Structure 1
């Protein structure tokens, strides 16, 4: 397979069996976004892959959507999950991406006690210049945690060797595969809290609201009845009937 422009020819594939005319050739894009080439002998055998655009299928752009993490332990199969603190947009198809379980403003004063920083071993976010918000050199895991906790605009970071690479949002292309061994992904995750006093207050408010509606309905019915009686009493026809009986 070749790429041709006005002046050059670039070979994409290698190790193509020869003679070429003895084989069927097929090029496809699989459901994970990887471009692949297969060959099949015209007389026998099966389809065999001879080339693909990515050795690591998780490097395909946004294969698991926004805030999704691609996992591929063998560089063949792909599994999509949400990064910590997030839930699928579509539970039946996680590859569509994820959204935060709890929406939180990390720039609010005293918000530091409302979240923690989780570390995912052997995982990474893309490290190109457009993905990195800033880099902090010569730090360990704790130093990288502090770096993103001190930066309310950073949701996550990758610790590669001793470099903490703080990431921009939204987070794309998170991956956990053979190419991310030894890298640590750090992610801010809101702490889930349960306050029984709030639940009691909510139930009390619901009860009071229901009682108020019931009282309001009864009062409205009584007023409607009284207004109806008054309208009938002061009706001219009703007045003539009353005078005639008196």
Structure 2
């Protein structure tokens, strides 16, 4: 790859890190760009997990410093997400995923409609439907496994779970999502690393852009809360559903 192409990939990673730190869906930008750069689908997905890990880690640290989430208390849950993400990636060739892929656009459109139309959805916390322990041993491993197995929309699924079941407001849900997203992403990457699929130099260079974009995005989310998170989540979920439908057709 020449320098101009690498610069374009880093710029795409910066934009993806910005979007992903607020509402998820950064892979909408980076995966197509990596494939346009000449990577195979396997290389693009693995390299995307590598570079995306930098952005997720940066966003998690930014939200942790803000006091919205206690990262140390979240570590056991993150460990479950890591193991589940690795298990999903290890079984990606052994499990039939066609039905999940067919249902995914419908689910993503449902998430977009939920955040767009549900009244009173703001940054205020509500009563939790599940205890933190039960949430951690049920929903988190399930989404982490999905993140390793398929991936698209995992951030939106974590967000929805924190809002609907853990009772978090939109901003706090975003803050709690990032460490888990990082952990399941890293678990998948650990498995992909043994397969030799990640293009390490490109992923590391794009990681620098992810760090910058995620830091800026987290700062904006902390300042604006649900006013910026909700519309961006609706847009990214809808765009991801549209892209998946286009690929099927």
Q: TM-score, normalised by structure 1?
A: 0.22
Structure with bigger gyration radius? 1
Higher fraction of strand:
1
Tell me: higher relative CO, structure 1 or 2? Use CA pairs within 8 A at least 6 residues apart. Answer: 2
